[in-house]
Amino acid sequence: MTAFNNTPTSRRNLLALATAAIAVGMVPMLSRSGDDHHDDHDEGGKFSAGQNTTVAAANTGLSGNIVVVGGGMAGATVAKYLRLWGGSGLTITLVEPSTSYTSNIMSNLVLNGSRTVSSLAYGYTGLASKYGIAVKQAAVTAINKAAKSVTLSDGSTLSYDRLVLAPGVDFMDAYGLTQADYDSKTPHAWRAGAQTTLLSTQLAAMPANGTFVMTIPKSPYRCPPGPYERASLVADFLKTNKGAGSKVLVLDENLSIQAEVASFTYAFNTLHAGVIQYESGVTNVHINPDTKAVTYTDQVGTITTVSANVVNPIVPHRASGSAPGGWLAAAGLNNSPDGRWAVVDVLSYQSTAANASGIHVIGDAANCGMPKAGHVANQEAKICADAIVRLLGGQQPDPAPVANSACYSPLTASTASWLTAVYQYDSANQKMVVADNGGRTVGAKVTEASNHNTENFKQMNTWFNTLMGDSFS
């Protein structure tokens, strides 16, 4: 469950660049100091120990100027592994507007008071000092594909040989709501931060036996099990703190639960029975941000209006910058049929858009056939880093990449379930598909826990710390 180094690591020996063949554990470390378990965990703005640790990357003979856009799960990982696998000759610049990253993973636990938003903060000091990544605090505002350069929010430009875009998602105006409504009245809290705090405050202030309404957008969306996990945790919180008559109405635009079907069916119908009401296949959702009246049409066409105390619209999203006029759209990189995602070649994560040579897109912004998830973003980043190193060395990307994903879902404040999947390249269809242990793809399925328990909850914390450490430390 916790082993998430994918095949690029194990396939190092396939790389003909002898000096670049550095498995992660073999990288010589100089002057290690501090606690490498939490190297760059930024709790409330204070970086913990470990910033003086330096990695002496090998001289692989490779050189190149690589710009990474976005310091989230995908961007931080690709910057780190480009250094580990590409060696000391690469110039790697990470462009990120925030001074630290707030993990979405585990942020549902802020809603029931188990965690704080500040406990989910990860800084960039380790990437800078340990791996020699140049961290530029700015946002990319434009891409000049012909000149191979990006313009930043401070007006400066950066040129690149390879550009890796990992900007995550933007949230669309939906259900009659605006961005200002999300920020102040009806938070989606689907990017962890101030909206997560607002939603937890609203939950804490709910009256006894009140009504919480949440929506789930049509797939694909960020973190398939995430909304169902949130519904379970909110139900657990409300019935514990606000009375057994509390209600959680889940309005799902999908026709069925999108992940961990057995676990969440049990959570909705048994564990939190009487509290959660699950409506699938809803349409025409409309939300009044002031009165908190929510109107929707159910599967049989009945129109219902519910008066809620708190409304949590997880609205449809799209690759950051892909709104009409946005920087990704202006570069023509949002080339999925609906214009919301960047389509990539899953062997290298290079964009398939016209004239996009040298541009790679990873993480939630990419349309790659795997779920939009942090663990998967970490895996995509490694496949991409491996492909870039090979391409810089005049080789072709690994023709058979494998990735895996694990995800733990708390169903109560102390118990969790999990799912895990292996994905491998299907050359016939040129996409990543679910595989089983023996590498067979026909009939292979995502595996989910047979029950929820406290042991899973403990393992969840180990998995989370390991994943975040692998991405940011």
Ligand X SMILES: Cc1cc2nc3c(=O)[nH]c(=O)nc-3n(C[C@H](O)[C@H](O)[C@H](O)COP(=O)(O)OP(=O)(O)OC[C@H]3O[C@@H](n4cnc5c(N)ncnc54)[C@H](O)[C@@H]3O)c2cc1C
The residues of the shown chain that bind ligand X, judged by CB under 6 A, are 69-75, 95-98, 101, 104-105, 107-108, 139-140, 166-168, 190, 222-223, 226, 320-321, 363-365, 372-375, 377, 407
Q: Which is nearer to ligand X, 20 or 370 (CB)?
A: 370
> How is residue 123 written in tokens?
């800084």
> In what order do the strands lie in the sheet containing 211-216?
276-279, 247-252, 211-216, 310-313
The answer to whether the beta carbons of residues 452 and 411 sit under 8 Å apart is yes
Query: What minimum distance in Å lies between the beta carbon of 437 and ligand X?
Result: 21
Query: What minimum distance in Å lies between the beta carbon of 451 and ligand X?
Result: 18
Q: Which is nearer to ligand X, 15 or 366 (CB)?
A: 366
The answer to whether the beta carbons of residues 312 and 186 sit under 8 Å apart is yes
**Element of type H or E holding 135:** strand 134-136
Look-up of token digits 């997880």: 314
Look-up of token digits 């710009």: 67
Q: Which is nearer to ligand X, 12 or 375 (CB)?
A: 375
Q: Which is nearer to ligand X, 258 or 288 (CB)?
A: 258
Query: What minimum distance in Å lies between the beta carbon of 373 and ligand X?
Result: 3
The answer to whether the beta carbons of residues 359 and 145 sit under 8 Å apart is yes
Which of 187, 269, 282, 285 is CA-nearest to residue 232?
269
Query: What minimum distance in Å lies between the beta carbon of 308 and ligand X?
Result: 20
Query: What minimum distance in Å lies between the beta carbon of 283 and ligand X?
Result: 23
Residue nearest ligand X by beta-carbon distance:
72
Q: Which residues are CB-contacts of 272 (< 8 A; sequence separation ≥ 6)?
A: 232, 235, 236, 239, 248
Query: What minimum distance in Å lies between the beta carbon of 396 and ligand X?
Result: 25
Beta-sheet pairing, 54-55 with 310-313:
unpaired
Angstrom distance (rounded) from CA 137 to CA 94: 8
**Element of type H or E holding 69:** strand 64-69
Q: Which is nearer to ligand X, 73 or 444 (CB)?
A: 73
Q: Which is nearer to ligand X, 87 or 226 (CB)?
A: 226
- Preceding amide of 399 cis, omega within 30: no
Query: What minimum distance in Å lies between the beta carbon of 122 and ligand X?
Result: 10
Q: Which is nearer to ligand X, 163 or 251 (CB)?
A: 163
Angstrom distance (rounded) from CA 257 to CA 262: 9
